[in-house]
Amino acid sequence: MDKKKVAVPLVCHGHSRPVVDLFYSPVTPDGFFLISASKDSSPMLRNGETGDWIGTFEGHKGAVWSCCLDTNALRAASGSADFSAKLWDALTGDELQSFEHKHIVRACAFSEDTHLLLTGGFEKILRIFDLNRPDAPPREVDNSPGSIRTVAWLHSDQTILSSCADIGGVRLWDIRSGKIVQTLETKSPVTSAEVSQDGRYITTADGSTVKFWDANHFGLVKSYDMPCNVESASLEPKFGNKFVAGGEDMWIHVFDFHTGEQIGCNKGHHGPVHCVRFSPGGESYASGSEDGTIRIWQLSPASHDENDSLPGNGPTGKVKVSADDVAQKIEVLHISKEGKTAEKEKATDA
């Protein structure tokens, strides 16, 4: 009955409302970072390896639905229900720019070269902001068939991917012509679309299905039925031999990419799972849930379980980070009410 090893995640407290989006930066000279979006209106930056809180970006006045970091993890972006997308300095926490929209912004993504920011939302318009000229009006691509749920760049920023909240399919847009060049057909609306690190696959979650598409020829490579409706899926980036999916049953399921066989199931969240993402090295993955927590799971449970269950990743200001530069980030970041929040959390957890 009893398994030898049970996965004990790092539990990251701090958000007071559901966590709806997660994004890992690539590996930088200072390590890698994890940014989270929550309905509490305050995206948070963490050390991607330890889950330790680095800072909170304050300024949105509504739920934040999407967040991302640029390639060097120097800037962050967020899309919100307050009808804006914001650009942030990821070292100081300062708001650099606020891009006003006419409706809720559901998705945002930096281009690979970091010069452009793509947004989409309830307006059914894809907007491309030139970050070298942030005051210039954005380029608009306005024939999306529905309210936009996810966006991503691929093919060295030559192609844009989008999915809709109310209709199935993933649309691929040629950036030069602004026209749809391909539609990847799905039965249900696609709630998560991820381009693999090597650019080979597009991983989508729609309803109770996870699909893998050839990112260059757009053919369907694999399609697997899930044990429940899943909201998010992520492919292991190093070897591409495993993927994780999370959804309404509150569990994180681990599958073999080649066979679709379930090889692991991690329990711990107390509400539906809204997002799952692999770290850039593939050694761990993070999940964000309706319960307001982020959990970071090791791909194979480490034998030193007691270290894995160490608490204290909330925004207490006490951050154990090795890289000097990250330590500097912590000193200069705007740490406002977070200390109090952490105290309250400790009291309620006790």
What is the pLDDT, as a whole number, of residue 305?
A: 37
The alpha carbon torsion through 159, 165, 166, 167 (nearest 10 deg) reads 30
Task: State the pLDDT at residue 324.
Answer: 44
Distance (Å, whole) CA 30 – CA 33: 9
Domain annotation for the chain: domains and CATH numbers = 10-298 (2.130.10.10)
C-alpha distances out from residue 182 to 120, 141, 174, 178, Å: 18, 15, 9, 12
| Residue 250: Cβ within 10 Å count | 18
Residue with tokens 């399921």: 253
Burial class (CB in 10 A: 0-12, 13-18, 19+), 347: exposed
Per-residue confidence (pLDDT) for residue 5, from 0 to 100:
64
Distance between CA 111 and CA 239 in Å, rounded? 24
Degrees, nearest 5: CA angle 183-189-195: 60
Residue 148 vs residues 104, 126, 190, 252, 288: alpha-carbon distances, Å: 10, 8, 10, 26, 21
- Tens-binned pLDDT, residue by residue, of the chain (350 aa): 444 467 899 999 999 999 999 999 999 999 999 999 999 999 999 999 999 999 999 999 999 999 999 999 999 999 999 999 999 999 999 999 999 999 999 999 999 999 999 999 999 999 999 999 999 999 999 989 999 999 999 999 999 999 999 999 999 999 999 999 999 999 999 999 999 999 999 999 999 999 999 999 999 999 999 999 999 999 999 999 999 999 999 999 999 999 999 999 999 999 999 999 999 999 999 999 999 999 999 987 433 333 334 444 555 433 333 344 444 444 445 444 444 344 334 333 43
* pLDDT given for residue 308 in this prediction: 39
Tokens linked to 243: 């993927």
Q: Which pTM was predicted?
A: 0.86
| Phi and psi at residue 324, to the nearest 5° | -60, -40
Give the 3-state DSSP-derived string for the chain, with helices as H, strands as E and coil as C. CCCCCCCCCEEECCCCCCEEEEEECCCECCECEEEEEECCCCCEEEECCCCCEEEECCCCCCCEEEEEECCCCCEEEEEECCCEEEEEECCCCCEEEEEECCCCEEEEEECCCCCEEEEEECCCCEEEEECCCCCCCCEEECCCCCCEEEEEEECCCCEEEEEECCCEEEEEEECCCCEEEEEEEEEEEEEEEEECCCCCEEEEEECCEEEEEECCCCCEEEEEECCCCEEEEEECCCCCCEEEEEECCCCEEEEECCCCCEEEEECCCCCCEEEEEECCCCCEEEEEECCCCEEEEECCCCCCHHHHCCCCCCCCCCCCCCCHHHHHHHHHCCCCCHHHHHHHHHHHHC
CA distance 342 to 350: 12
- C-alpha 161/C-alpha 174 separation (Å) is 9
How far is the C-alpha of 6 from the C-alpha of 252, rounded, in Å? 13
Residue 335 contacts by C-beta under 8 Å, 6 or more apart in sequence?
55, 56, 315, 317
Per the CB < 8 A criterion, the answer to whether 77 and 87 are in contact is yes
